[in-house]
Amino acid sequence: MLALIGTIPYDGFPILSGEISVKNSNILIGEKSFQIKRGFKAMIGAASIVCKELSLFPPTAFTAGDIGLGDGSKRLYEHLRNQLSGIQVSVLTFHYLMPDIFWHDQIIKAIEEMSKKPILIADAGFMYVAKMSGFAPFYDLFTPDIGELAFLADELAPHPFYTRGFICHEENNVPSLISRAYKSENASKFLIVKGENDYICSNGEIIAIIKEPNVETLEPIGGTGDTLTGIVSALVYSGYAIEDAAVMAAIINRLAGELANPSPSTQVSEIISYIPKALSIVLKSLDKKNNEIHVKGN
């Protein structure tokens, strides 16, 4: 199972779990329908589309409503603490959850009780708490943007809001931030650093830099990082090695963005609709013999 875990922005919304599907620009968890917007909904939408295109079992969502008070996150953490060890999961992706060290450590305990440790992917609030609790190397993949990379590199910062000023989060500083994050054991085994260029890292080493297509107007669009996390989760679930899935996901996400011909006011739901086409282009360009991707202009 590909299990996707995160909150949705509805006050008091109860725990909901179920198979994810996308219909008429809406996302369904079981029978419950939601509009695709930035955040967890964009992430699971992207993952669901990739799973469908690759003829995989649909991913399963575990969610609850939380508008920032942490109540929904707590209910979801509690639910997972009790249920996780009994579920067969091969890839587990954590997303928008209130960073809470106590509950993070409870989740780690639940994962340790599973018969087989799944591949662990973390983004957003759960990535923050994974680093803050000192468990970053326990995870297989984080997907930070450059600001969040600076936070991973700052061994004292408990949240990106407190990243110290001298740790400069600029594009030209990315290699040294990566090195610093790994040195202080505040990074997962693999990283996708999202930015003007996407950096793919394996155990502290930059193994690929994705520069094309370069669509400057994607930066202001909320949710383009969420879609990347969803795409890579589905590709890893399909069996690609994490490093290959990371490279493919970065290119697919950029291509989907380019195909949408976006302006800074474009919403992520428009970009998601181009994921099947972008995925198809990347799969056709995949040189299986050499495991390389040759997309025009890349």
Partner 1 sequence: MPLIKSKKEEKKPDRGFLVFHNTSDVIRAEKILKKEGFKIRVMGPPPEHRRGCDLVIEFPLIEQLNILRILEKKSTPPIDAVPVDNPLLKPIEIVKTKDFGKYIMVRAANMKMTVEKSTLKIVNISGGGCPDVPYLAEKLIGKTLKEAPEPKQIGHTLCAYALHIAYEEMTKRCLL
**Biggest alpha carbon–alpha carbon distance for the chain:** 51
Sheet-wide strand order for 32-35: 32-35, 26-29, 16-23, 60-65, 2-8, 91-94, 119-122, 141-142, 190-193, 198-202, 205-210
- 12 is an interface residue for partner 1 by CB under 8 A: no
Binding-site member from 129, 141, 177, 246 for partner 1 (CB under 8 A): 129
Residues 6+ apart with CB under 8 A from 262: 215, 217, 218, 221, 270, 271
- 158 is an interface residue for partner 1 by CB under 8 A: yes
Q: Look-up: residue for tokens 């708490």?
A: 129
Total of residues contacting partner 1 (CB under 8 A): 58
- Cβ 131 to partner 1, closest distance in Å? 11
- 60 is an interface residue for partner 1 by CB under 8 A: no
Residues between 64 and 123 with contacts to partner 1, criterion CB under 8 A = 66-70, 72-73, 96-102, 123
Measured from the CB atom, the residue of 58 and 99 that comes closer to partner 1 is 99
Binding-site member from 115, 116, 216, 288 for partner 1 (CB under 8 A): 216
Which of these ranges, 48-56, 161-169, 197-205, 246-254, lies near partner 1 under the rule CB under 8 A?
Answer: 161-169
DSSP 294: -
For 49-63, b/e burial (b = at least 16 CB within 10 A) is: bbbbbeebebbbbbb
- Cβ 208 to partner 1, closest distance in Å? 23
Binding-site member from 2, 7, 234, 259 for partner 1 (CB under 8 A): 7
Residues that bind partner 1 (CB under 8 A): 7-9, 37-41, 66-70, 72-73, 96-102, 123-129, 132, 145, 147-148, 151, 156-165, 216-217, 219-225, 263-267
